Structure 1
Amino acid sequence: MLNVLQFLGGSGISLLLLASIAAGAGTGHFSPDSSTWLSDRVDATLLLLIGLLFFGVRFNAIVRALGHLRFIAVALLANFVLVPCIGWAIASLVLPEHPLLMVGLVIYFMSPCTDWFLGFTRLAKGNVALGTALIPINMVVQLLLYPLYLHWFTRNIVPVEADLIGQTLLQWFLLPLVVATAAHHILRRLLAPARFARLLAMADHTTPWVIALLVMEIFAANIDTIVAYRGVFGWLLLAVFLFFIATFVLGEALSRMAGLRYPEHALLTLTIAARNAPLMLAISMAALPDQPLIHAAIVIGMLLEFPHLTLLRQLLLRSQTHARYHHSTAGAETIPTH
């Protein structure tokens, strides 16, 4: 399989998603029987995706966060208070006449990434160890906040029953989380470190392809509904573009206010920018199963995310080089001459 970092660095995920959308749309339009067959396997694909996402989470990394409580506090404030409010404001401004698509964007905006942002953090020479500790924290907090966010930000656009959402989270996410975490720790003990590392890498490599399969199934099963709103997808992309600009400005401001060093600055910028679209797509398909426009909006959000993260990496590395140049120049100017 392709190396994940190379794949991400080349915005391969966006191309894979586009291919999946095209394949699903073509299947749904030209072969209704095949689209029915694909839609009948959505639940199995969801469970596979959820299992892969949870299996790769290193919950024992939380102990690394204990020495960086100030950074964790800033990241939590940004990811779970400021960024959801920014996302809701942008989605409400751009798509007020299309409430279901607006809800899909809000769901996409409200949860920070728990997987591939770490690859970009490594490429940007950010604090990867601290980012690893941030992943399980983000995972747990966003699962707990999902029903609250859905209630607060949707204005009852879609029916949200707290008991049903809670039951869905229990059956589809808490139980798979327990099973996947147990499997993670059991296999870690049974396998040699090198073999277990290869197993984790295999799970990471498989995840984008499972996401692509799920996207193809969504578009194959709901192509008629999605095509009816094709003229709005440009506005969706505009909203995502505005969101990425706003979160970049937020990351720069918070990094300066908190006086973060470059490795933590890069990590904060990328965790604010990257969204947890796979998990949000899985949750929304389980909790809101008959809302293809909401699901499509989350998928569309992913299209710009990877080119954006690639650009962010370049900007961060350039800013680091620029800062080092000015620091060395300033140091040279203070050397006394005789």
Structure 2
Amino acid sequence: MPTPLTLEKYQVVVYLVAVAAGLAIGLFAPPTGEWLEWSLWPLLAALLYVTFTQTHLESIGSALVDRRFLLVMLTVNFVLIPILVWGLTRLFVDDPILAMGVFLVLLVPCTDWFVTFSQLGRADVPRAIAATPILLLAQILLLPFYLWLFTEGDIRADWELSSLLGAFVLIILIPLAAAWLTDLSGRHSRKVRRGIEMMAWLPVPLLGIVLFAIMTSHAPQVVGQVAGLGAVVLVFVLYIILVPWIAEAASRLAGLPPEARRTVAFSAGTRNSFMVLPIALALPTSLQPVVTVIILQSLVELLGLIAYTRLIPRMIR
């Protein structure tokens, strides 16, 4: 009998088809993309709500028990990776606007396909599920600090804080609060629990639809700007190559078992591009290249994760 895991097994195909179809339609039928652009906000809100309902916020307690694993996850994601990202941008990215896009997308660990790709890569899925809400809360608290620390003053001066806060509240905090209330209700209602179980089918198709809408509405922009983003793509490729080794070194130093070390590697390699995309979309026109940077990162990451599922089980034993 098919289960959500059956769908997740073929999610890579779903995403690649969505990306290819979106790019093709966006390039050859631009009015379709203009019509679809309005749908991005509700689609992203729905995707994050469904994803948060599967995050299992009640597992925070079990994550805190496994302190050594949690310490490694937090150290890799919020200490070592920011240092790496800062160094890569200093070496390769001269444009401060593009650097901001890199910071925005690479400083936040993923909370959705991180778990499913961990499963495909023979990592420790229970540990991944337990750590996810901690990673989510940590990035919400730390991302503003890192953006302030890393971005240049004249770029920060162009931020429209009211628009950024509005996007953050509407697309991130409200879905998170709704998911938390749904989770609380599910503890006392069998129907709600059944609804949460049924929503486990939705992240993959919803993410496919979001990818399709993003590519369709931004295809001309992505294709038109990609020639000037070689340095950014290089940073993303180097990031994908380097972070598993950093994660493995930190995990092995902490004495974690192989499956847990793979989990740390997948967490380091997956970034939360679809959570930060609404923030990028709310930026003023002068900073809109940030949107293209985030879209490019999601494409590079998707291809990298396909390779991860084959290479990381062989690399980390």
TM-score bucket (shorter structure) = 0.7 to 0.9
Taking structure 1 as reference, are residues 211 and 36 closer, same or farther at Cα in structure 2, changes over 3 Å only? closer
Q: Please give the alpha-carbon distance, in whole angstroms, between the structure 2 residues aligned to 1:204 and 1:293.
A: 27
Say yes or no: does 1:81 pair with 2:83: no
Corresponding residue for 1:181? 180
Q: Is the 8 A contact 1:104 1:297 kept in 2?
A: yes
Q: Deviations over 1:245-280 (max 9, x none)?
A: 221220121122111111211111111111111112
Say yes or no: does 1:281 pair with 2:310: no
Corresponding residue for 1:313? 309
Corresponding residue for 2:245? 249
**Aligned amino acid, residue 133 of structure 1:** A
Taking structure 1 as reference, are residues 265 and 163 closer, same or farther at Cα in structure 2, changes over 3 Å only? same
Q: Please give the alpha-carbon distance, in whole angstroms, between the structure 2 residues aligned to 1:246 and 1:170.
A: 33
Q: Is the 8 A contact 1:11 1:307 kept in 2?
A: no
Compare CA radii of gyration and give the structure with the larger one: 1
Corresponding residue for 1:170? 169
2:15 alignment partner, one of 6, 13, 20: 13
Q: Deviations over 1:91-119 (max 9, x none)?
A: 332221x3322221221111111111111
Corresponding residue for 1:145? 142
- Give the TM-score taking structure 2 as reference length: 0.86
Corresponding residue for 2:123? 126
Q: Is the 8 A contact 1:121 1:128 kept in 2?
A: yes
Superposed, 1:16-35 pairs within 5 Å as 16-28=18-30, 31=31, 34-35=32-33
SS of corresponding position for 2:311? helix
Q: Please give the alpha-carbon distance, in whole angstroms, between the structure 2 residues aligned to 1:84 and 1:17.
A: 28
Q: Is the 8 A contact 1:109 1:275 kept in 2?
A: yes
Q: Please give the alpha-carbon distance, in whole angstroms, between the structure 1 residues aligned to 2:133 and 2:45.
A: 19
Q: Is the 8 A contact 1:11 1:306 kept in 2?
A: no
Q: Please give the alpha-carbon distance, in whole angstroms, between the structure 1 residues aligned to 2:163 and 2:114.
A: 31
Corresponding residue for 1:37? 35
**Aligned amino acid, residue 91 of structure 1:** T
**Aligned amino acid, residue 137 of structure 2:** V
**Aligned amino acid, residue 122 of structure 1:** Q
SS of corresponding position for 2:138? helix
Moved more, 104-113 or 288-297: 288-297
Say yes or no: does 1:117 pair with 2:120: no
Taking structure 1 as reference, are residues 116 and 4 closer, same or farther at Cα in structure 2, changes over 3 Å only? farther
SS of corresponding position for 1:202? coil
Q: Please give the alpha-carbon distance, in whole angstroms, between the structure 1 residues aligned to 2:169 and 2:43.
A: 18
Corresponding residue for 1:216? 215
Q: Deviations over 1:35-84 (max 9, x none)?
A: 44323333323322332232322101112113211111111111012112
Q: Please give the alpha-carbon distance, in whole angstroms, between the structure 2 residues aligned to 1:285 and 1:269.
A: 29
Q: Please give the alpha-carbon distance, in whole angstroms, between the structure 1 residues aligned to 2:227 and 2:280.
A: 23
Taking structure 1 as reference, are residues 78 and 43 closer, same or farther at Cα in structure 2, changes over 3 Å only? same
**Aligned amino acid, residue 181 of structure 2:** A
* RMSD over equivalenced CA pairs, Å: 2.7
Q: Is the 8 A contact 2:37 2:214 kept in 1?
A: no
Provide structure 2 residue ranges, at least 5 long, that are not aligned to the other structure.
Answer: none
Percent identical pairs in the alignment equals 26
Q: Please give the alpha-carbon distance, in whole angstroms, between the structure 2 residues aligned to 1:231 and 1:168.
A: 29
Provide structure 1 residue ranges, at least 5 long, that are not aligned to the other structure.
Answer: 324-338
